[in-house]
Structure formats: C-alpha cells, structure tokens
Amino acid sequence: MNLASGSGYRITENARLDARNTFGVRAKAPMLVDVSDAQALPELFGYAMPRAASTLVLGGGSNLLFAGDAPGVVLALETRRIALAEDRGETVIVRADAGVVWHDFVLWTLGHGLSGLENLALIPGTVGAAPIQNIGAYGMEVGERVHAVDAFDRLDGRFVRLAAEACAFAYRDSLFKHAPDRYIVTAVEFVLDRAFQPRLAYAGITDALQAMGIEGTPRASQVAEAVIRIRRRKLPDPALLGNAGSFFKNPIIACAQADALLADFPAMPVFRGAGDDSRKLSAAWLIDQCGWKGHRDGDAGVAASHALVLVNHGQATGMQLLDLAHRIAASVHARFGVAIEPEPRIVGAAW
C-alpha cells in the first residue's frame, strides 16, 4: 500500500498546521492525514497508523491551541455531504458529514425551510466538531438538536452510532471530550423543525432584530441574521485576527459561593447552573474586572471587544498565549477565588 495516499485519504509527512488553526500559531505534525472518505478509517487505523499512535482529530482548528507541535498523527475529515435522512412531517432528520463547515450547514438548513439551529449561526468549526464540546450560543446548545452521532470507534475498530442520550451532552461537554482518543465523529444527524419556534430570550437578540426593523414574530433566517450581527460586533473574525472564540468556560460554582461573591460584587452577572444548587458566572465579566480587556503582551493579547477572547496579533506563539491565559486565570482566582478553565483543547502542553 502506498503510504502517501490511498483510497479516500492523503498523507503529508512533517506537515505545517499554521493555516489549520484559527489562532494562526506555528505548529507542525509528524503526519497529517486528510480523509475524503470515512470508509478509509478502518484501513488507516488497521495498517497505516497503528492504534497506539496518538491521533488528534482536527475540525476547523477553531477550538484548540497549539502550545507545541502535535505529538502524533493529525487527522482531518474532508467529507462534505448533507442529506435529508428522514421526513417525519413536522420534524425532519438531516444528516451532515463531519467535514461540513458548521455555518454553511446552518445556512443550508435555513435555505431548506428548517429551523432549530439559527441561534448557532456563524460559530466557527465543522459539523464533526460541534458535538464534541456541545457548541452553544445565544440560548441554545447543539445537543438539543442532535439526533445521533456516527463515529469510528478506535477502541473496537468499528463504526458505531450513538443516540443523543448516549452522548452525555452538558455545558461545553460531552462523552467525546472524555474519551478523546476513542471516537472519530464521521457524521451527525440533527432533528429540525418545519414550524419555527423562536428562542429570543438571550440578551441582545430582540435589540438586534429591532435594529433590523423586524417587528412581530421573526423568521428563523432573521434570527440567524441577528445572531450574525451580534457575533460580528463582539467577536473578532479569526480570518483577520487569530483567536479561538471564548478561551475560558464560564465557571460553575456552588450557590453559597455565588451568594457570598454577590455580597461583595453586587453587579456580578449570575446565571442558572446545571441544577438548582449551582450557578454559572460570566468568565468575561470576571476577566474584565481584572482589567485584561484589550491587554497586549507583544503579539499575545485579549480582544478589545470581548474579555473572553484571546487573540494573536501576528507572531504570538502558542506558549505565549498559554502563558497569558495562566496569568489571567491566576488574577481571577486571586480576586474572586474562582478557578476558570480553558475551553479550547490545548495541544503540546498541560493547562
């Protein structure tokens, strides 16, 4: 077998990953495998890449930080089919390959008169990456719309289908995050609606709709447009300024700790946590209070428009960004006694 390419995949040795991560930091991989047909995965893992070799699955490279080079194989799926899998009348099941660009998929669903993903417009990355961290924005999480996830199980060397209930979706979390070397998501099925049920409660959406001159009940495509406008205003475009969206997760803490903090900081935003006994804080607010917004150390910085977004002004290395992130987390901990943790996967170093 030709190692450099086979049916359904292409291998590049000593590959540069600079253009494959939205931070735009320098990084390399000893082996990069671009997969154009998921059916090639059993062959790849059976022969070309021994199962023991560590494999990093790359989507749009928008939720990771290369603090060093990738230690082993990097694999990227280039599969791009979208199809109607099942028509159930009021709802439909749509199936999209892992390599489909997420925002293109959201636009496809809206173009076909299907709603349910409009609040998740313009999130960077791919369909295959969406269930991993259970992408969420503007009052919606993708897990609510996942019907099933198809994956290649490296442990058993076979394809599996996981129903949504088996995926353990939670805030920026899923089964896949806890077994990073096991599943390679190959396709995702979503359950979408024909009749639109708008979800407009998240701060800013109704204002954006009003600014667009929309009165009464909006269409799903108009909600998507409102979300796109808010995102463009708040979040830097990775094509222009390297970043990976929110760098920290919003911390979830016990109610009692939130109450104690509120006594000292009455203006602190507090949201519901996973259950009644927990609360979610705004990492952006905590970081902002520590004075980091717009901060810059050389080319590593914090966005001027949003305190949660670390940015690469040009030549920052992954280690410089990681060092800045550590200093931000330490200052938040010193002031509020709250630990904040990174949202993107950090490759080549531990947090």
Cβ atoms within 10 A of the Cβ of 207, count?
12
Q: Should residue 285 be labelled a site residue for ligand EPU when binding is judged by CB under 6 A?
A: yes
- Among 20, 145, 279, 306, indicate the residue that binds ligand EPU (CB under 6 A): 306
Q: Which of 153/343 has CB closer to ligand EPU? A: 343
Q: Give the CA radius of gyration of the chain.
A: 21
What phi, psi does 95 have (nearest 5°)? -115, 130
In whole angstroms, how close is the CB of 127 to ligand EPU at the nearest point?
A: 16
- Among 282, 319, 331, 345, indicate the residue that binds ligand EPU (CB under 6 A): 282
- Among 147, 279, 293, 295, indicate the residue that binds ligand EPU (CB under 6 A): 293
Give the footprint of ligand EPU on residues 188-207 (CB under 6 A): 202-203
Catalytic-labelled residue, pool 78, 327, 343, 345: 343
Q: End-to-end CA distance of the chain: give it in Å, rounded.
A: 39
Residue count at the site for ligand EPU (CB under 6 A)?
20
Exposure on the CB side of residue 164, measured as CA atoms within 13 A: 15
Exposure on the CB side of residue 33, measured as CA atoms within 13 A: 24
- Among 307, 311, 322, 328, indicate the residue that binds ligand EPU (CB under 6 A): 307
- Cα–Cα distance measured from residue 224 to residue 197, given in angstroms and rounded to the nearest whole number: 13
Q: Which of 43/343 has CB closer to ligand EPU? A: 343
The dihedral through the CA atoms of 285, 286, 287, 288 has a sign that is: positive
- Among 132, 284, 316, 325, indicate the residue that binds ligand EPU (CB under 6 A): 284
User: Under 8 Å CB-to-CB from 246, ≥6 apart: which residues?
Assistant: 283, 284, 308, 309, 343
Asked if 172 is an active-site residue, the reply is yes
* Segment lying near ligand EPU (by CB under 6 A), choices 31-39, 52-60, 206-214, 284-292: 284-292
Contact string 233-252 vs ligand EPU (x = CB under 6 A): -xx---------xx--xx--
Q: Which of 114/129 has CB closer to ligand EPU? A: 129
In whole angstroms, how close is the CB of 284 to ligand EPU at the nearest point?
A: 3
- Among 343, 345, 346, 348, indicate the residue that binds ligand EPU (CB under 6 A): 343
Which ranges of the chain would DSSP assign to H, the alpha helix?
A: 41-43, 102-111, 175-178, 205-211, 220-234, 255-264, 283-289, 318-336
Catalytic-labelled residue, pool 115, 145, 246, 279: 246
Contact string 253-272 vs ligand EPU (x = CB under 6 A): ----------------x---
- Residue 314 per-residue DSSP state: S
Surface-to-core class of residue 93, CB atoms within 10 Å of its CB (0-12 exposed, 13-18 middle, 19+ buried):
middle
User: Is-contact 198 218, C-beta < 8 A?
Assistant: yes
Report how far apart, in Å, the C-alpha atoms of 338 and of each of 49, 255, 281, 291, 292 are: 42, 13, 9, 16, 16
Q: Which of 130/187 has CB closer to ligand EPU? A: 130
Catalytic-labelled residue, pool 172, 189, 229, 279: 172
Give the footprint of ligand EPU on residues 80-139 (CB under 6 A): 137-138
* Segment lying near ligand EPU (by CB under 6 A), choices 70-78, 143-151, 190-198, 282-290: 282-290
Q: What are the DSSP calls for 247-289, one per residue?
A: SBPPPEEEHHHHHHHHHH-TT--EEE-SSTTEEEE-HHHHHHH
Q: Should residue 288 be labelled a site residue for ligand EPU when binding is judged by CB under 6 A?
A: yes
Indicate the length of the chain as a whole number.
Answer: 351
In whole angstroms, how close is the CB of 325 to ligand EPU at the nearest point?
A: 13
Residue nearest ligand EPU, CB atom distance: 245
- Cα–Cα distance measured from residue 293 to residue 156, given in angstroms and rounded to the nearest whole number: 46
> Interface with ligand EPU by CB under 6 A: which residues?
137-138, 202-203, 234-235, 245-246, 249-250, 269, 282, 284-285, 288, 293, 306-308, 343
Annotated catalytic residues are: 172, 246, 343
